[in-house]
Chain A
Amino acid sequence: MKKSIVKTAVAVSAVSLFLSACGGNANPNPTTNSGTNTSKNNNTSTSTPVTTQDETPFKLSLMLPTYNPEQMPESSSVLKLLEEKTNTDLSVTWVPSTTYADKLSATVASGELPQALVALTPKASYIVNAVRSGMFWEIGPYLQDYPNLSRMSDIVLNNISIDGKVYGIYRERDLARFGLMMRQDWLDNLQLEEPTNLDELYNVLKEFTYSDPDKNGKDDTIGLAVGMQGSVIAGFKDILVYHGGPNEWEVQDGQLIPAHMTDAYMDTMLFYKKLYDENIINQDFAVVQDGRAVINKGTAGVWIDNMVDGKGIQDNIQKITAEAKITLVNRIAGPAGDRTRAGNGYLGMFMIPKTSVKTEEELKRILTYLDRVSEEDIQNLMKYGVEGSHYTVDGGNYSANEDAKVLAELNDSNQFMVLQDKVVSYGTELEKLAVDKFNDNVEIAIPNPAAGFISETEIEKGTEISKIIADATVKFIMGSIDEEQWDKEVEKWLQSGGSKIMEEFNAEYAKLAQ
C-alpha cells in the first residue's frame, strides 16, 4: 500500500509540474490578439497627436471590479467588438468587488500595475497618499482635448478631485436615483393617491399597515420596509432630505455643519420613531441586512432606495401575488419643498499609474480609448450588447436573449463604461419610468457641499466615529435613548474627532470662497 501511495504521489507531482509549466507563465497579455487592424474607427479628436489609426491594436491592460459570480469570457463578442471599435487589444484582470481594496493595495505594493485601473474608493487613504507621492498621472489638463471627455460634469469632477486636481476619469452613474418604490395595487385597493408630501406619506403608510391593503382579512402588513445598509438605516437619508435636511453636510451661516447636527435630523428621527412605535415598520429593522427581503415577502408597502431596484422587487413579489405592481414616487414635499438626495454621480474612477504608463504619448492613447468608449455606439454596446444577438427590439418592445451563455458575454460590461448619457432607454414600463424619475430627480437634487473636500481626520477616523451617530440614531428610534442622551452622543462624536473634521472641511470651504 505504501508503495502505491508513493507512486501516486510521484505521478501527481509530475503531472502538476507539467501543468504548471504550461499554464503557469504569468502572461499579462494573453490570447486575444485581434490582429484586425480596423478602419472603422472614426477618430474625432483633432488636436491630439496620437491617433487611433495605428496599424496594430494598442495593448491595454485593465483592472476592473466584478459583481458577478461569473466573469465575462475572453471570447465574448461584446469584448471583441469593443476591441475592434477602439483598435485595442484588451486584457482585463477581474477582481471580485468584495476584495477589491485588498487586491488593489497588494498590486500597488508590488509595483506591477495595469495601465489603467479602477479605483472604487478614490478618497481612500492609500489612494490619496499614492496620488500625493506622484504615482498617478494628473489627467485634468488633458480633458479638453477630447470631445467626449470634455463633456464630463464639473460637479462630479470636483467631487473626485484630490487637492484640487483631477487624477482620474470617473465612471458616470445617475446623479440622483433615490426614491420610493410603492405597491400600486395596494394604493388601488385602498383607493389612495400617490403621496406628494410628508403628511400624505405618513397617511399612506398607516393605511398600508392597518387597513388590510392586500385584502386577505389578516392583519399582516406593514407600511414601510426598513433594513440596514452597513450601520446606516436604509431610506433614512432620503426622508431626511424630504424633511428639508441636507445631503451629509449643509452650509449654515457660512459654515459647514454635518447632517446630524441639524434640526431636520431630529425631525426625521422623530418621524421614524413614530413609525416604529405604531408598528408601521418592521420591528427588527436593526438586524435586517437587506431590507428588500422584507418587501419581497409581499407584506410591506414601500421601500426607499435606488429606484433601479423597482423592477427586481416587482418581479419577486409577483411570484407570490401575481397582481402586484410597483410604482415609483420621487417627490415628497417637506418644509423646503421638493428635494432629493444627489449621489456622488460616479462609481469609481479610472486612474493611470505612471509606473506602467511611462510616456505622455501612451497616456494620450489611453485617454483616446476612454474617450472612444464614451461614444454613443459603444455606450449602448456595453449596456445592451448587439441587437439581434443579445436582444431584440420588436416594435418598441425590448426583450433580452434568454440564453445564459449569450447573456454571459455581457457580464460586468458596464464596468468598462465611462459616460452613460447617450444610453438608449429600453426596458419595461417600470424601467422606463425609473429613467424618467432619475431625470426628474436631477432638477431637485441637492448635492453634498463637502464632497470635494479632503479632511485627514475624516479619512482616518470618519468611518469609525460615524458609528457613534448611526448607533445613536437607531437607539433613539427604538426608544432606548432620549433627546438628552442623543445630545450627549453628538457631543461624543465631536470629542472623538468630529470637531476636527468640521474644522478641516470648513478650512477647505473658506479657501473656495475666496
Chain B
Amino acid sequence: MRIKASLGSKVFDGINMGLLILFALVTIIPFIYVIAGSFATQKELLTKGFILFPTEFSLDAYRYIFSTGTLMRSLGVTIYITVVGTLINIFMTCLMAYPLARRDMDFRKPVMLMIIFTMLFSGGMIPTFLVVKQLGMIDTYWSLLVPGAISAFNLIIIKNFFQQLPESLEESAKIDGCNDLMIFIKIVLPLSMPAIATFSLFYAVGHWNTFFNAILYINDNNKWPIQVLLRQIVILASGGIGDSTAMESEYVTPPEQAVKMAVIVMSTLPILLVYPFLQKHFAKGVLLGSVKG
C-alpha cells in the first residue's frame, strides 16, 4: 500500500533542503576562494583579496609546485603510509573492539578502564620517542605506522557499534558451530561496514595529515610525507607565523599567495575523492533480512 506524502511532509522536505543547501554553500564558498586563488595571479590576490573566480588565469602556482620532484615523491610516501597505515589501524582496532563488545568476556571492564586511561594520560613526546627509538623504528616508515595503530577514541566507538548488533545473530552462528573468530569475520564485520568505512576514513585522514611525527621520527628528508612540504609552504607564504624562532628569522622569499592555495588544493583533493567511494557503504537497511524472526 503506497502512502501518499502529505503536505506537511512536503513542506518539511522543502525547508530541510533549503537549509541544507544554505549550509553547504556557506561551507563551500571559502574553498571556492582557495581554488580560485590557486589559479590567480599574485596581483589579483593582493589587490582584490577575496575572489570567487580569477579574472586573470594563471597556472604559475601549480607549475611552481610540480617543478621539483619533491611533491610527487612525498605524495607517494603519503599514499603508501595512508593505505598501509589504515589497513593496520582497522585490523588492530576492530580485532580488539569485538571481544570488548561481547558481554560474556570477563575482563571487559578493567581493559576498558585501562584504555580510557591512556586517552586521558600520556607519557608525552619524549618518552614515546625513546620507546620508538628503542624498538629501532627511527627513520623507518614503521614509526609512522605502528605507534598510532589504535586510537582509543575510535576503538570505543567501534566497540559501541559492535554492541548494537543483535546477539541472536551470534547465537545462531554458534549453534552452527562457528567459533568467535569466525563470527567476527563472517558476521560482525560485514554488518558493520558503515562503521568500518567511517573509521577507515578517519584513520586515513589522520595518516594523510601526518606532519609532526614525521619530522620527529624521520631524519631522512627524502622519506617525508606531503604535509611537511605543504606546511612549510603555507607557513612561509604567511610570513612565517607559527615559527617559534621568528625572533630573528632567516630571510626567505615568501612564495606567492597563489602557491599557498595551490598547495591546499593539492593536499585536500585526494582525500576528498576517497569519501564518495565509501558512501555506498552507508546504504540503509544493511541489517535487513539478517534477522529472521
Direct contact of A and B (CB under 8 A): yes
Q: Which residues of A370-420 are within 8 A (CB) of B?
A: 404-405, 408, 414
* Contact mask for chain B residues 218-245; partner A; CB cutoff 8 A; 1 contact, 0 none: 0111010000111111011011111111
Contact B190 A2 (CB under 8 A): yes
Whole-angstrom CA separation of A68 from B229 in the bound complex = 9
Whole-angstrom CA separation of A69 from B255 in the bound complex = 10
Q: How many residues of B contact A (CB 8 A)?
A: 63
Select B129's contact among A2, A106, A316, beta carbons within 8 Å: A106
Closest CB in chain B relative to A108 CB, distance in Å: 9
Total A-B residue pairs with C-beta atoms closer than 8 Å? 148
Whole-angstrom CA separation of A227 from B238 in the bound complex = 12
Q: Which residues of A74-124 are within 8 A (CB) of B?
A: 93-103, 105-106, 109-110, 112, 120-121
Residues of A within 8 A of B141 (CB): 16, 19-20, 23-24
Whole-angstrom CA separation of A98 from B233 in the bound complex = 11
Contact B41 A98 (CB under 8 A): no
Query: A297 and B46 in contact (CB under 8 A), knowing A16-B84, A347-B250, A404-B67?
Result: yes
Closest CB in chain A relative to B243 CB, distance in Å: 5
Whole-angstrom CA separation of A23 from B73 in the bound complex = 14
Contact A94 B232 (CB under 8 A): no
- Assess whether A457 is interfacial by the CB under 8 Å rule: no
Contact A347 B138 (CB under 8 A): no
Identify the closest chain A residue to B185 (Cβ): A2
Query: A96 and B215 in contact (CB under 8 A), knowing A106-B125, A110-B130, A319-B41?
Result: yes
Identify the closest chain B residue to A319 (Cβ): B43
Residues of B within 8 A of A103 (CB): 215-216
- Interface size grouping (class) on chain A: 35 or more
Q: Which residues of A328-353 are within 8 A (CB) of B?
A: 343-344, 347
Query: A347 and B189 in contact (CB under 8 A), knowing A26-B138, A70-B68?
Result: no
Q: Which residues of A291-331 are within 8 A (CB) of B?
A: 292-293, 296-298, 306, 308-309, 312, 316, 319-320
Query: A24 and B142 in contact (CB under 8 A), knowing A2-B189, A68-B252?
Result: yes
Residues of A within 8 A of B31 (CB): none
Contact A67 B245 (CB under 8 A): no
Query: A97 and B250 in contact (CB under 8 A), knowing A26-B219, A70-B229?
Result: yes
Chain B contact surface mostly: helix
- Assess whether A13 is interfacial by the CB under 8 Å rule: yes
Residues of A within 8 A of B41 (CB): 319
Select A95's contact among B142, B215, B249, beta carbons within 8 Å: B215
Residues of B within 8 A of A13 (CB): 84, 87
Whole-angstrom CA separation of A66 from B190 in the bound complex = 48
Residues of A within 8 A of B46 (CB): 293, 296-298, 316, 319-320
Contact A98 B243 (CB under 8 A): yes
Closest CB in chain A relative to B40 CB, distance in Å: 12
Whole-angstrom CA separation of A115 from B57 in the bound complex = 49
Identify the closest chain B residue to A19 (Cβ): B141
Closest CB in chain B relative to A44 CB, distance in Å: 29
Whole-angstrom CA separation of A66 from B252 in the bound complex = 11
- Assess whether A283 is interfacial by the CB under 8 Å rule: no
- Assess whether A270 is interfacial by the CB under 8 Å rule: no
Query: A101 and B246 in contact (CB under 8 A), knowing A106-B126, A110-B130?
Result: no
- Assess whether B254 is interfacial by the CB under 8 Å rule: yes
Residues of B within 8 A of A428 (CB): none
Identify the closest chain B residue to A26 (Cβ): B139
Contact B70 A69 (CB under 8 A): yes
Residues of A within 8 A of B121 (CB): none
- Assess whether B107 is interfacial by the CB under 8 Å rule: no
- Assess whether A229 is interfacial by the CB under 8 Å rule: yes
Contact A298 B236 (CB under 8 A): no
Identify the closest chain A residue to B90 (Cβ): A9
* Contact mask for chain B residues 53-75; partner A; CB cutoff 8 A; 1 contact, 0 none: 00000000000100110100000
Query: A67 and B250 in contact (CB under 8 A), knowing A9-B91, A290-B240, A408-B68?
Result: yes
* Residue among B84, B145, B223 having the largest count of chain A Cβ atoms under 10 Å: B84
Q: Which residues of B178-201 are within 8 A (CB) of A?
A: 185-186, 189-190
Whole-angstrom CA separation of A49 from B121 in the bound complex = 54
Contact B239 A289 (CB under 8 A): yes
Select A289's contact among B64, B238, B250, beta carbons within 8 Å: B238
- Assess whether A217 is interfacial by the CB under 8 Å rule: no
Identify the closest chain B residue to A112 (Cβ): B133
- Assess whether B140 is interfacial by the CB under 8 Å rule: yes
Q: Which residues of B232-285 are within 8 A (CB) of A?
A: 232-233, 235-236, 238-255
Q: Could you tell me which B residues sit within 8 Å of A by CB distance?
A: 41-43, 46-47, 64, 67-68, 70, 80, 83-84, 87, 91, 125-126, 129-130, 133, 136, 138-142, 145, 185-186, 189-190, 212, 215-216, 219-221, 223, 228-233, 235-236, 238-255
Provide a sorted-by-A list of 9 A–B residue pairs whose CB atoms are within 8 angstroms.
A16-B141, A67-B252, A69-B70, A71-B221, A99-B215, A110-B129, A308-B251, A316-B46, A347-B248
